[in-house]
Every structure is written in C-alpha cells, then in structure tokens.
C-alpha cells in the first residue's frame, strides 16, 4: 500500500510540475505580448481579470475539497445533466483542489506580478524614484486584492460548495457535450447522456 502511494504521489508531483511549467510559460508569454501592445488602462483591466481567475480558481478548489457526493447522487438518480461529473469532481477532490489552488491559483499570482511590472514599464515616468513608488503601490494593490478576494472566496466556497461544484460540473458537461473534450480521464468511454 505504501509503495502504491509513493508511486501515485511521485506520478502526481511530476505531472503537476510539468503542467505548472508549461502553463506558466504560456500565460506569461501571452500576458507579456498582450500587455506590451495595449494601453495602460486596458493592461490594468487584464491584470484585474488575471487576479479574478486566480480567486475564482481558488474558490472552486476549496468548494470541491469541502463537498459531499450525497446531493449529487440524488441528482444522478434523476438523470440531471452534470451530476455524474459533479460526483467525479468530489471523488477526485484532492487532485481537483490541488490543480485549482496550486497550479492555476499560483500561476495567476506569478502572471499578475509580471502584468504589474509591464504596466509600470509603460507608464510615462522617467524618474526611477517615481517608478519605484508606483511599483510598490501596485504590488500592494495586487497582493491585497488577491488575498482579500481569496478570503471572501473561501468563505463563499465553504458555505455554497454544492452550488459551485454543480455549476462547474455543468460547465464541464457542456464542454464535453459540445466539443467532445473530456477533462476527467476516468469518465472516458461513458455515454455523455449519463453525465
């Protein structure tokens, strides 16, 4: 049993590390390209979107970790679309939570820092002291918005986990139903109507 756990744990660590590496590069390059070719106001809006994605992802991760499969089993009995996926999310809570909180959440934190730096570079100030002050203020703003947003998100996630998990499951159901993309490997081979 211990050997199986070590094997699974190592596999998961390697997988999550590779995904983090690739996604960080992709998001960093995209944000850099977009931010360096837009106005400061638009770049600031993109920064807010990145922060929101991080907060929302963290909220989903907490909701899944705090969830219970019982209400979704009742929905599955009534053949409600997305209920089967909701059950799979709950059964894979540790993986889903780790991906949402550690991968997406942390990547958004890193990229928001890059975005903040890009905004400062674009500002029409040549004075190094002024730019340093603006950088400090912007860094504080990003940190406070991220931490505050995640604090509120955690509270909502713990209290409203059923709604959040089911809405995410419905979104994944639509993606699978319309695009044929299955984000949950263990669901392969199942009829989409069973979801």
Secondary structure (DSSP) of 38-70: S-HHHHHHHHHHHHHHHHHHHHHHHHHHT--SH
Output the average pLDDT for the chain: 83
Reported as a single tens digit per residue, the pLDDT across 136-166 is 998 899 999 999 999 999 999 999 999 999 9
Count of residues in the chain: 195
Reported as a single tens digit per residue, the pLDDT across 160-194 is 999 999 999 999 999 888 887 777 755 444 444 44
- Alpha helix (H) residue ranges in the chain: 2-35, 40-65, 70-77, 83-91, 93-98, 105-122, 128-159, 161-179
- Domain map of the chain by residue range? 2-194
Q: Which token pair is 93?
A: 């809570």
pTM: 0.79
């Amino acid at each position: 049993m211990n050997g199986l756990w070590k094997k699974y744990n190592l596999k998961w660590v390697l997988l999550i590390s590779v995904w983090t590496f690739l996604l960080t590069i992709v998001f960093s390059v995209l944000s850099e390209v977009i931010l360096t070719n837009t106005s400061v106001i638009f770049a600031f809006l993109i920064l807010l979107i990145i922060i929101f994605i991080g907060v929302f992802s963290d909220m989903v991760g907490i909701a899944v970790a705090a969830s219970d499969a019982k209400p979704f089993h009742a929905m599955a009995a009534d053949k409600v679309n997305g209920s089967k996926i909701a059950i799979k999310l709950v059964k894979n809570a540790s993986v889903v939570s780790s991906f949402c909180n550690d991968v997406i959440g942390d990547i958004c934190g890193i990229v928001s820092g890059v975005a903040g730096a890009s905004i400062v570079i674009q500002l029409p100030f040549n004075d190094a002291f002024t730019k340093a002050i603006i950088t400090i203020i912007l860094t504080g703003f990003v940190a406070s918005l991220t931490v505050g947003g995640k604090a509120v998100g955690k509270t909502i996630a713990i209290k409203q986990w059923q709604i959040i998990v089911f809405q995410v499951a419905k979104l994944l159901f639509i993606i699978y139903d319309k695009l044929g993309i299955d984000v949950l490997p263990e669901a392969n081979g199942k009829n989409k109507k069973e979801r």
